[in-house]
Amino acid sequence: MAEDHSESAPKAASSEALQPRAPRQKEPVQAKAKDTPGDTGRRAFVFHTMAGFITLLIVCFARFFFPRTLFEPKTRFTIGYPGDYGFGVDTKWQQKYRIWVCRNASGLFVIYARCTHLGCTPDWKPAENKFKCPCHGSGFDAEGMNYEGPAPKPMLRCHLEIDPTGQVLVDSLNLYDFDVGTKQFKNLQPGTNGPLLVV
Ligand code: FES
């Protein structure tokens, strides 16, 4: 009688599969290579480059919240009471508002402290009773009238008012130009003090 091998063959194969396998030999772990000085230098370079880049980004982001704004002085402001100013030239507002407050026999007036040549700020020279421009030597008398150097005309005067509290209000955007020919200020507005307070 012929043997039936058709069932016994797979059985043999599966019993082989159940045999415990020999444990796999672990591959030896390779020892970590030590950093060379070149590696350390490269790593430091990358780190510092990244840190610099991130700092730059943060600065740019923060700068966004501080727009470039020019803080200019006010152009309409009070300077105290007329009685605060005696005869002569008072320079106490020169730094803050670029003006000189002057009084003569006619009244109180305010000169805008800008040379009419190229716009420098002249210096008041009390000993010589004149304004002297340090840039190109123009000279102006105590009323701001030019008389030496390249300045082509007198210095401008500010519009003045008395505010409701009785203080002198200066408008340094509203300036008066003196016409040497007619000896009058140009663009005087009727019904206003113009550049002179008779006080
Ligand atoms: S700017 Fe004053 S003399 Fe030139």
Res. 158: pLDDT tops 80? yes
Answer whether residue 29 is part of any domain.
no
Answer whether residue 171 is part of any domain.
yes
Residue 23: its pLDDT value, please? 65
The full DSSP string for 132-188 is E-TTT--EEETTS-EEESS--SPPPEEEEEE-TTS-EEEEEEEEE-EETTTTEETTP
Res. 70: pLDDT tops 80? no
Number of domains, the chain: 1
Query: By alpha-carbon position, which residue is closest to atom 3 of ligand 1?
Result: 136
Of the listed ranges 14-28, 84-98, 117-131, 158-172, the least confidently predicted one is 14-28
Ligand 1 near 151 CB (within 6 A): yes
Residue (of 122, 100, 120, 118) closest to 110 by Cα position: 100
Answer whether residue 73 is part of any domain.
no
Q: What is the mean pLDDT of the chain?
A: 87
Q: Which residue has the higher pLDDT, 36 or 85?
A: 85
Give the CATH number, domain containing residue 161: 2.102.10.10
d(CA 85, ligand 1 centre) in Å: 28
Percent of all residues in the chain with a pLDDT value above 70, rounded to a whole number: 82
- State which residues form the domain around 141: 86-197
Of the listed ranges 48-62, 140-154, 170-184, the least confidently predicted one is 48-62
Ligand 1 near 133 CB (within 6 A): yes
Contact present, 177 and 185 (Cβ < 8 Å): yes
Residue 193: its pLDDT value, please? 85
What is the rounded CA–CA span in Å between residue 199 and residue 195?
12
What is the rounded CA–CA span in Å between residue 37 and residue 55?
27
Answer whether residue 164 is part of any domain.
yes
Confidence of residue 16 (pLDDT cuts 50, 70, 90): low
* Test site for ligand 1: of 121, 138, 146, 153, most ligand atoms within 8 A of the Cβ: 138
Answer whether residue 148 is part of any domain.
yes
Answer whether residue 14 is part of any domain.
no
Residue 20: its pLDDT value, please? 66
* Test site for ligand 1: of 120, 131, 147, most ligand atoms within 8 A of the Cβ: 120
pTM of the model: 0.67
Answer whether residue 6 is part of any domain.
no
What is the rounded CA–CA span in Å between residue 43 and residue 21?
46
Residue-wise pLDDT for 117-132, tens only, equals: 999 999 999 999 999 9
Answer whether residue 96 is part of any domain.
yes
Residue 153: its pLDDT value, please? 97
Residue type, 161: E
